[in-house]
Structure 1
Amino acid sequence: MNKLFRIAALACAISVGLTACEKNDDPIEEEDNGNYYKLIRVENLPIAPTDEGSEPNESGVYFYSLLENKSIPQDDVNSAHWDLAFGGMFTSFLSGNNGTDEGNHGVGSSAVGGIAIVEKEFDDVEQLPSGIEFKTGKDVVGTDDQGFFGAGMGWYLYDFNGTLVREGAEEDKHVAYALAEPITKKDGSVIQPRTVILKTANGDYAKIKMISCYKDLFKQEQWKKGAPIMYATFEYVLIPGDRNTFEIR
């Protein structure tokens, strides 16, 4: 009997072991976070009326949803469907969606968003900056004060005559230098990189890296007068409103 018992016990152990091994081999399903906690890249987004880009519209403003990662039609301007607006000069000024600010594009909606910008590289912005203040107006963040037509700390440097960064050749004029990376000016001074921080329409947070406004041209040495413009290329990480760490899962 003892021998039969040992054989039965061994068979049971082998069976349990095989079952455990089979169970451990099952693939682990990743958590579906939608568009949260991801590095999302938007490339060549047409943000001005062009022959092959956006259609002209009465407002001259273009809207984007970070939550859904898609453009939002003009008919939804007074809604919480969009998070980021492109408007103002050259359609290059950014703003958030806030329904309580009379000066906002989305006035009258339930949106609670706003926008800010920090002098810090995108990858170095690991958390929502402490005490950050979000501006709720329209066309808030655009040209930087260290270039022409500056309007505060901006996401790009506008070089009207082509001599701030380069030698002033014809193709150097009217170039918009995105400040995702540091830029050294002709006088030797360095403009530090910038990251846009957005509070979305529903109260989530995003950090945004504005990379270029030229079609298919993503490096500053490629930007020149006459290149196709305005096509926004940017990357962002979106987190829920009850979180403050811009992690990627």
Structure 2
Amino acid sequence: MLMIKETVYFLALLLFILSSCSKNEEPRSEPDKPQDIFVRDLNNGHFSTGQPSGIAKPIYFSLQKNAEAKADGDWDIAFTGLANTLIVSNSKVGTWMKVLNVDYDKIDRKPSLSYSEAESGNIANYENGWYTYDVQTHVVEPIKGKTIFLRTGNGKYYKIKMISIYEGAPAYPTSSDKTTFLTFQFGELE
């Protein structure tokens, strides 16, 4: 009988200890990752259809503020050139770019890259660019697996994925869709 009482007391004590531990412990969570931002249909007030021609009015954009900026203001990148497909970094404030053949979704930390004026400043449809242009259909399409990396003058790092230059970002654009409506995704890297 004494052994049964000791066993009951031991089990009661064990249950008390286990229940008090679980009440005091806070659930562990991983630190919040910064959320990616989608910019949809960023436009310069003009549009065109068909074969792109002429230089488009530039659009200046601050990734740090997630907002359009003025030419003489605090901007990180500008979209200019044909249908705003040329991306220019603001080297005057120390912002530099680089395009890599790497999937945007697989990047969650800043890569070890060297940024230099020779490799930064304008990114379009060249070998190191972000899009292809079909001379028969006059359609501009982002190259899958291309990510643009930016280092700002104040030491922040971003990744950018261009999605479309057409209004509404249609999955299958045609030359009759309105251009200079930029849609892209970006996120800050740690």
Q: TM-score, normalised by structure 1?
A: 0.56
3-state SS of paired residue (1:90): helix
1:87 CA drift (Å): 2.3
Aligned residues: 179
Asked if structure 2 preserves the Cα contact closer than 8 Å seen for 1:41 and 1:233, the reply is no
Which amino acid counterpart does residue 87 of structure 2 have in structure 1?
L
1:115 aligns with 2:97: yes
1:195 CA drift (Å): 2.1
Q: 1:132 to 1:218 in 2, by over 3 A?
A: farther
2:20 is aligned to 19
Runs of 4+ in 1 over 6 A off after TM superposition: none
2:154 is aligned to 202
1:177 is aligned to 141
1:86 aligns with 2:68: no
For residues 130-177 of structure 1, the C-alpha deviation after alignment (integer angstroms, 9 at most, x for no partner) is 5543438986112x24xxxxxx632122234x1xxxxxxxxx2x2112
Higher relative contact order (CA 8 A, sep 6+): 2
Asked if structure 1 preserves the Cα contact closer than 8 Å seen for 2:37 and 2:187, the reply is no
Which amino acid counterpart does residue 173 of structure 2 have in structure 1?
W
1:156 aligns with 2:106: no
Q: 1:130 to 1:85 in 2, by over 3 A?
A: same
Identity of aligned residues (%): 21
CA distance in 1, matches of 2:130, 2:11: 69
CA distance in 1, matches of 2:13, 2:108: 51
For residues 53-75 of structure 1, the C-alpha deviation after alignment (integer angstroms, 9 at most, x for no partner) is xxxxxx9332333344x213327
| Ranges in structure 1 where 5+ consecutive residues have no aligned partner | 52-58, 100-110, 146-151, 163-171, 182-192, 241-249
1:97 is aligned to 90
Match of 2:58 among 61, 64, 73: 61
Which amino acid counterpart does residue 230 of structure 1 have in structure 2?
T
Match of 1:215 among 167, 180, 183: 167
1:73 is aligned to 69
Q: 1:85 to 1:122 in 2, by over 3 A?
A: same
CA distance in 2, matches of 1:209, 1:132: 20
Asked if structure 2 preserves the Cα contact closer than 8 Å seen for 1:87 and 1:139, the reply is no
Q: Which has the higher strand share?
A: 2
1:27 CA drift (Å): 4.3
3-state SS of paired residue (1:47): strand
| Ranges in structure 2 where 5+ consecutive residues have no aligned partner | 48-55
1:115 CA drift (Å): 0.9
CA distance in 2, matches of 1:130, 1:159: 33
- Measured on the aligned residues, the alpha-carbon RMSD in Å equals 3.6
CA distance in 2, matches of 1:27, 1:63: 44
